[in-house]
């Protein structure tokens, strides 16, 4: 424990390479336990309440029921997503923490127009305002030193080389289910009688905002279902 939290590679307080090596020897639940033990009282779990989010919400909350679960609400989520949030929050007893952008959707559109219709630059500006800034604010206000996330390598080419432990703005970001396949996810959900997001059954494989999320169609890659195929990452798992 001490070695991981001592100075490492110029990064105050965390030796990320050692942490990643240790996490690589554990299973997903073990990685969660490792993080909660070493960063007791200073760990948060982020969730988009997307297609397969019930896995991490269940796995983490049953080890620490009161862990802050951060949802970034852009104001443009699907109605089904808001209902899914309510369902899982009640069922799992989640300590939900909802963070929103500094400006409301209506105010943003009045000032900047529909940023998601303004090409790649507009989408990136939209994501910084509506996703990255609220998440960073959540991490700061909640005093997070470690951040658990459910991203997986198989979700996108941009995630194929990710590590179990990464350094993000002075925090350790841990990905417990990083190497899981869709079949692994299915087996976990089935074993614990947990639901997929309701839109999963309507052909949505990656679920974000209503204006930049599309069903998977013939000839379309999973990555093309988000942001009109211009990009895959919203910025939360790259910048924050």
Catalytic residues: 234
Please classify residue 63 by burial: count the beta carbons closer than 10 Å to its beta carbon, then call 0-12 exposed, 13-18 middle and 19+ buried.
middle
Which stretch of DSSP H or E encloses residue 68?
strand 68-72
Rounded Cα–Cα distance for residues 26 and 28 (Å): 7
Task: Please give the Cα distance from 161 to 72 (Å, whole number).
Answer: 25
CB 8 within 8 A of CB 14: yes
What are the respective helix, strand and coil percentages of the chain, to the nearest 5?
45, 15, 40
């Amino acid at each position: 424990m001490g070695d991981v939290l001592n100075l490492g590679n110029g990064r105050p307080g965390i030796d990320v390479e050692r942490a990643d090596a240790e996490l690589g020897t554990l299973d997903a639940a073990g990685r969660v336990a490792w993080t909660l033990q070493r960063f007791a009282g200073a760990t948060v779990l982020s969730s988009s309440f997307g297609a397969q989010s019930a896995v991490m919400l269940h796995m983490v909350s049953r080890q620490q029921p009161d862990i802050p679960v951060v949802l970034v609400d852009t104001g443009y989520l699907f109605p089904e997503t808001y209902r899914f949030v309510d369902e899982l929050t009640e069922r799992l007893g989640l300590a939900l923490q909802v963070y929103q952008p500094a400006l409301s959707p209506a105010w943003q559109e009045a000032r900047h127009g529909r940023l998601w219709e303004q090409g790649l630059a507009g989408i990136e500006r939209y994501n910084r305002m509506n996703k990255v800034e609220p998440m960073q604010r959540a991490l700061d206000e909640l005093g997070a030193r470690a951040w658990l996330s459910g991203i997986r390598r198989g979700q996108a080419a941009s995630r194929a080389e990710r590590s179990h432990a990464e350094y993000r703005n002075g925090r350790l970001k841990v990905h417990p289910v990083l190497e899981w396949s869709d079949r692994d996810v299915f087996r976990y959900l089935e074993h614990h009688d947990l639901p997929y997001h309701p839109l999963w059954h309507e052909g949505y494989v990656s679920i974000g905002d209503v204006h930049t999320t599309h069903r998977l169609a013939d000839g379309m890659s999973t990555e093309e279902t988000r942001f009109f195929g211009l990009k895959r990452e919203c910025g939360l798992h790259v910048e924050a």
